[in-house]
């Protein structure tokens, strides 16, 4: 619970104080610079002697198996992965390699059989359900392959959903103007300002994905989890989405974990992890 | 917030769920209509019974009655005067009313004979509302105007019309008798066989004839007769329409046969029918005859002659009207404490009519249970459709959970949805039901017109219009119950939705 509180406060700062954000970003750059030096060093000894900064989010030796009838189908065989703050990581692999599952585990949509998920060094996968719900709402933002907008709601309402979930009715009602402005600003940023009242069925695939990103970002998450965000889009639109994400990563130091099977898309990330049959195969550009 | 928003959107976009709510609407409407009509009938019936019986009845256990009604009435007023607005003494016995048919023979009817003093009976029940000479009424489609104004005091006198009719009839009978006597006088010399047992002697004839002699002069016994006894309805063979036929009219003389007090022995007297009454309860209208009190006391020998030349009369029951019927239990307690149970039976009208009222109550509660089962069936419809919606919405539930919605939040979406559906259904049901009740007579006329069959024949029910009574409490409970059923039906689907794991819900490939 204490953890949640911490995030609450942090979120507040971010929301209310633009300067705070700026400050945050500056310290960020410092860390980034330091860690980059460590990472680019080729001397393994040096790497071990310098204390590693605490990763932003990490999965430690996670194992996961699904039950299909009587058979247990292993999906992940002990995967270690850690992401620094402000890093853009892409996970690639073939279908069934467990990349989506890994992301679900990190995003607390599922819990690992063995191993743990850590956020800033603290274990989060065994927190109470309520706290995990809160973390999903405040810390993680999700973007899915099939956009997953709620069909009954307009674009504006879809984007507002995370805020509606976060606040109680009265709280939300009292601050609805502020939230609406915030959502509108976010929608403008993804370039859909002219489509506020449209239903998802009236939007194109690219627009829906941009709406989904706006929804993920309006809650001001620290980590964006994107599950094949371009999987259902043509190359050009997919490129736009990736550009949007890269920009967000650069400008706001948003930590992004993206799952994809498209190598050219994955190349946009700082670092790429390849998963094969539930194990990490290669880390390109990794330390 | 998202819960309400989603509920509202689901409500507006899922017409299939609205279809499921129609059954709730119909169930609620049916319950309201049935309850209102039953309550209408019930309260009409209760009013009528209460009007005839009065609020509290003190009966003597013996048919001989008790002497001195005035003293008893005085005692009652002393004991519970502050609750009481009227008391009257009556004599109630079984009797046979016989009237002369068109074929000159007597037609007997068993009746309950209640001897009253009209003025004081009117204090305990709305007698004047029942007597037909005080009201205009319709007979065979013809309007009969009121013969007396409502301000005219009650009494045992005939109206001028009835008097004229009586005299006319008497003249006719007198002429007939004269003619018959002449005929007999002519025939007598030739007739050599006087032993014919059926030949009536002139002396017997005059003694038996009620209408023959004292024409215009009323008998000492006076009666108010129920319309059910005085008339009957039959289909006219010519016009094929239901027609009222009179058997007894005001002004006619009838014969009342009853038994005396003490050792029962048959007694009879001839009485003039002064008026007919209509209470609207067929049981009373076809069984009850009111008679003047003095006459019955005299015939039954219920008069004690005292030594000082005065006389004391007897009564068999005292009818008491209360200012407020709510005080009945208190008054009953007081009276029971003071009138020995050996001689007197003190009851409210409800206690006397206990089995009938209980039967009506049981009937209405069983009907309510059955109708509520209909709404429960509707509840299962909601259950099924909700499961469908949950399955259809699996992905959306997953999205909501991924965005941080808690299980209880997801559950409350569906519970609120059920609640809203229930409220919409019950609200529409209340509206439809109340409209139906309001326009029930028009609807009845339309159905009669459309089917050609009378749905609500006045002949059977004694009511011109269908009586209805809408009890706000009943309406509230019916609506509330329906909403509850809708909510309960949505509990299982809502739990299922809540327990969906986000990953399960999002697995789309």
**In this model, does residue A61 exceed pLDDT 80?**
yes
d(CA A164, nearest CA chain B) in Å? 5
Residue B271 near residue B222, CB atoms below 8 Å: yes
Q: What is the pLDDT of residue A32?
A: 39
Contact A110 B405 (CB under 8 A): no
> Does the distance separating the beta carbons of B398 and A130 come in below 8 Å?
no
Pick the residue with more confidence: B359 or A51? B359
Cα separation, B298 vs B294, in Å, equals 6
Name, in order, each residue with C-beta under 8 angstroms of A145's C-beta and a sequence gap of 6 or more. A227, A228, A229, A231, A232
My answer on whether B425 and B453 are in the same domain is yes
pLDDT digits (tens, 9 = 90+) for B37-61: 888 888 888 888 888 888 888 888 8
Most confident range, picked from A54-58, A183-187, B41-45: A183-187
Q: Write out the two tokens for B215.
A: 């024409």
Q: Under 8 Å CB-to-CB from A100, ≥6 apart: which residues?
A: A227, A228, A259
pLDDT given for residue B241 in this prediction:
74
User: What would the two tokens of residue B251 be?
Assistant: 């002004």
Domain boundary among B341, B375, B392: B341
* Structure confidence at residue B433 (pLDDT): 92
Q: How far is B376 from chain A (nearest CA, A)?
A: 30
What's the pLDDT score for residue A14?
42
Share of chain B above pLDDT 70, in %: 92
Is the pLDDT confidence value at A36 over 60? no
Q: Is residue A109, in this structure, part of any structural domain at all? A: yes
Instruction: CATH number of the domain at A107, please.
Output: 3.40.50.300
In a domain, residue B199? The reply is no
- Domain, as residue range, for B323: 62-158+218-341
B231 and B363 inside one domain:
no
Residues B361 and B337 in one domain: no
**Probe site for chain B from A139, A162, A221 (most B CB atoms < 10 A):** A162
- Does B177 fall in a domain? no
Contacts of B395 in chain A (CB under 8 A): 148
Banded model confidence at residue A245, pLDDT cuts 50, 70, 90 = confident
d(CA B95, CA B450): 46
Residues above pLDDT 90, as percent of chain A: 0
Of B5, B396, B503, the CB nearest to A104: B503
Is B178 part of a structural domain of the chain?
A: no
pLDDT at A30 over 60: no
**Residue B57 resides in a domain:** no
* CB contact residues (below 8 A), chain B span 387-416, against chain A: 395-396, 398-407, 409
How far is the C-alpha of B390 from the C-alpha of B172, rounded, in Å?
89
Structural domain count, chain B? 2
| Residue of A171, A148, A169 lying closest to A158 (CA atoms) | A148
Same domain, B68 and B40: no
Task: Give chain B positions within 8 Å (CB) of A135.
Answer: 404
Q: Do A162 and B6 touch (CB under 8 A)?
A: no
Gap from B9 CA to chain A (nearest CA, Å): 6
B91 and B8 housed in the same domain? no
The answer on B476 and B423 residing in a single domain is yes
Q: Judge whether B189 lies within some domain.
A: no
| Structure confidence at residue A287 (pLDDT) | 40
Interface test with A, best of B392, B393, B404, B416 (most A CBs within 10 A): B404
Residue the block writes with tokens 């599952």? A101
The residue that leads in pLDDT, B426 or B166, is: B426
Is B170 domain-assigned?
no
Same structural domain for residues B105 and B154?
yes
Q: Which two tokens stand for residue B368?
A: 């309510």
Dump pLDDT digits (tens) for B97-128.
888 877 778 888 899 888 888 888 888 888 88
pLDDT computed for residue A33 by the predictor? 39
Q: Is the pLDDT of residue A195 over 90?
A: no
At A77, the pLDDT band (50, 70, 90 cuts) reads confident
A161–B400 C-beta distance less than 8 A:
yes
Confidence at residue B431, expressed as pLDDT on a 0 to 100 scale = 94
Chain A CB contacts of B398 under 8 Å are 148
Is there a domain that residue A42 lies in? yes
Residue closest to A223 by CA, chosen among A19, A81, A98: A81
Predicted pLDDT at A10: 44
Within 8 A of A232 by CB-CB distance, chain B residues are none
Structure tokens at A81: 């992965």
Check whether residue B23 and residue B116 sit in a common domain: no
Using the predicted structure, report yes or no on whether residue B180 has a pLDDT greater than 90: no
Quick one: B142 and B252 in the same domain?
yes
Q: Report how many domains make up chain A.
A: 1
pLDDT at residue A27 greater than cutoff 60 = no
Which residues sit opposite A141 in a β-bridge?
A: A224
State CA A130 to chain mean position distance: 20
Query: In this structure, is residue B55 part of a structural domain?
Result: no
Q: How confident is the model at residue A55 (pLDDT cuts 50, 70, 90)?
A: confident
pLDDT level of residue B432 (50, 70, 90 thresholds)? very high
Residue A14 lies inside a defined structural domain of this protein: yes
Query: Within a domain: residue A161?
Result: no
Residues B16 and B72 in one domain: no
Query: How far is Cα B148 from Cα B150, in angstroms, rounded to an integer?
Result: 6
Distance CA A88, CA A106 (A): 15
- Count the helices and strands in chain B (H runs, E runs): 19, 16
Q: Is the pLDDT at A5 greater than 70, yes or no?
A: no
Q: For residue range B122-149, what is the model confidence (pLDDT) as tens digits?
A: 888 888 888 888 877 777 777 777 777 7
Q: How far is B484 from chain A (nearest CA, A)?
A: 24
The answer to whether B403 contacts A172, with C-beta atoms less than 8 Å apart, is: no
Q: In A, which residues are within 8 Å of B396 by CB distance?
A: 150-151
Radius of gyration of chain B (CA): 34
For residue B193, give the 3-state DSSP assignment: coil
Any bridge partners for residue A271, and if so which? A89
The answer to whether residue B117 is domain-embedded is yes
ipTM: 0.77
Q: Give the span between the Cα atoms of A153 and B4, in whole angstroms.
A: 12
CA atoms within 13 A on the CB side of B344: 20
Say whether both B240 and B281 belong to one domain: yes
Residue B198 pLDDT level (bands cut at 50, 70, 90) = low
Mean pLDDT of chain B: 81
Which tens digit of pLDDT belongs to each residue from B318-337? Answer: 888 888 888 888 888 888 88
**Chain A residue numbers touching B17 (CB-CB < 8 A):** none
The whole-chain average pLDDT of chain A stands at 77
pLDDT per residue over A105-136, tens digit each? 888 888 888 888 888 888 888 888 888 888 88
Do residues B289 and B226 touch, judged by C-beta distance below 8 A?
yes
Residue A110 lies in a domain: yes
What's the pLDDT score for residue B73?
Answer: 83
Region B157-161 average pLDDT: 80
pLDDT value of position A283: 65
The single-letter DSSP state of residue B296 is H
Give the range of the structural domain holding residue A128, as residue numbers without chain letter. 2-139+221-284
């Amino acid at each position: 619970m204490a953890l949640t509180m911490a995030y609450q406060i942090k979120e507040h700062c971010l929301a209310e104080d633009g300067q705070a954000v700026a400050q945050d970003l500056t310290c960020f750059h410092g860390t980034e610079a330091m860690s980059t030096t460590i990472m680019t060093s080729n001397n393994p000894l040096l790497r071990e002697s310098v204390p590693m900064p605490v990763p932003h989010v990490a999965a430690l030796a996670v194992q996961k198996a699904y039950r299909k009838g009587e058979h247990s189908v292993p999906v992940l065989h002990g995967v270690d992965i850690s992401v620094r703050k402000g890093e853009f990581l892409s996970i690639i692999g073939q279908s069934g390699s467990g990349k989506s599952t890994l992301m679900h585990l990190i995003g607390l949509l599922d819990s690992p059989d063995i191993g743990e998920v850590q956020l800033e060094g603290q274990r989060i996968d065994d927190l109470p359900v309520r706290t995990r719900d809160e973390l999903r709402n405040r810390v993680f933002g999700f973007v899915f392959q099939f956009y997953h907008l709620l069909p009954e709601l307009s674009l504006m309402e879809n984007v507002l959903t995370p805020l509606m979930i976060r606040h109680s009715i009265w709280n939300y009602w009292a601050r609805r103007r502020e939230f609406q402005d915030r959502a509108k600003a976010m929608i403008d940023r993804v370039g859909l300002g002219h489509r506020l009242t449209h239903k998802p069925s009236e939007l194109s695939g690219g627009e829906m994905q941009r709406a989904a990103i706006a929804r993920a970002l309006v809650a001001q998450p620290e980590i964006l989890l994107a599950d094949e965000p371009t999987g259902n889009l043509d190359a050009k639109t997919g490129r736009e989405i990736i550009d949007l994400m890269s920009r967000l990563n650069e400008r706001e130091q948003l930590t992004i974990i993206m799952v994809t099977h498209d190598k050219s898309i994955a190349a946009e990330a700082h670092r790429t992890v390849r998963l094969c049959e539930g194990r990490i195969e290669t880390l390109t550009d990794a330390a | 917030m998202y819960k309400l928003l989603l509920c509202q959107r689901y409500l507006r976009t899922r017409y299939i769920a609205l279809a499921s709510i129609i059954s709730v609407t119909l169930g609620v409407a049916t319950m309201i209509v049935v309850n209102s009509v039953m309550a209408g009938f019930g309260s009409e019936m209760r009013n009528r019974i209460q009007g005839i019986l009065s609020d509290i009845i003190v009966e003597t256990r013996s048919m001989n009655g008790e002497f001195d009604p005035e003293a008893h009435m005085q005692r009652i007023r002393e004991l519970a005067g502050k609750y009481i607005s009227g008391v009257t003494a009556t004599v109630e016995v079984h009797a046979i009313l016989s009237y002369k048919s068109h074929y000159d023979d007597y037609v007997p009817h068993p009746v309950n004979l209640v001897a009253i003093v009209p003025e004081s009976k009117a204090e305990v029940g709305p007698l004047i509302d029942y007597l037909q000479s005080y009201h205009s009424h319709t007979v065979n489609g013809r309007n009969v105007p009121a013969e007396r104004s409502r301000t005219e005091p009650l009494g045992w006198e005939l109206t001028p019309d009835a008097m004229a009719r009586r005299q006319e009839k008497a003249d006719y009978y007198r002429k007939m008798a004269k003619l018959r006597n002449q005929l007999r006088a002519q025939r007598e010399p030739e007739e050599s066989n006087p032993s014919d047992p059926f030949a009536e002697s002139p002396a017997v004839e005059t003694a038996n004839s009620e209408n023959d002699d004292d024409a215009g002069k009323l008998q000492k016994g006076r009666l108010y007769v129920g319309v059910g006894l005085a008339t009957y309805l039959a289909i006219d063979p010519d016009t094929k329409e239901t027609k009222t036929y009179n058997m007894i009219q005001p002004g006619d003389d009838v014969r009342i046969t009853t038994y005396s007090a003490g050792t029962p022995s048959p007694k009879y007297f001839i009485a003039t029918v002064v008026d007919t009454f209509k209470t609207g309860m067929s049981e009373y209208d076809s069984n009850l005859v009111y008679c003047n009190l003095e006459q019955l006391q005299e015939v039954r020998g219920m008069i004690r002659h005292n030594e000082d030349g005065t006389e004391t009369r007897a009564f068999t029951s005292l009818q008491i009207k209360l200012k407020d019927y709510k005080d009945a239990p208190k008054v009953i307690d007081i009276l029971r404490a003071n009138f020995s149970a050996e001689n007197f039976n003190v009851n409210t009208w409800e206690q006397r009519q206990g089995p009938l009222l209980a039967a009506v109550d049981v009937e209405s509660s069983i009907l309510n249970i059955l109708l509520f089962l209909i709404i429960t069936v509707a509840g299962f419809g909601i259950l099924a459709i909700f499961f469908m919606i949950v399955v259809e919405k699996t992905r959306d539930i997953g999205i909501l959970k991924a965005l941080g919605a808690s299980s209880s939040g997801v559950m409350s979406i569906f519970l609120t949805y059920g609640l809203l559906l229930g409220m919409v259904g019950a609200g529409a049901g209340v509206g439809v039901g109340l409209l139906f009740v309001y326009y029930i007579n028009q609807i009845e006329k339309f159905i009669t017109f459309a089917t050609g069959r009378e749905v609500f024949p006045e002949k059977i029910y004694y009511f011109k219009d269908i009586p209805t009574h809408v009890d706000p409490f009943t309406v509230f409970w019916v609506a509330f119950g329906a909403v509850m059923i809708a909510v309960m039906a949505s509990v299982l689907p809502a739990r299922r939705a809540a327990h969906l794991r986000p990953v399960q819900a999002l697995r789309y490939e």
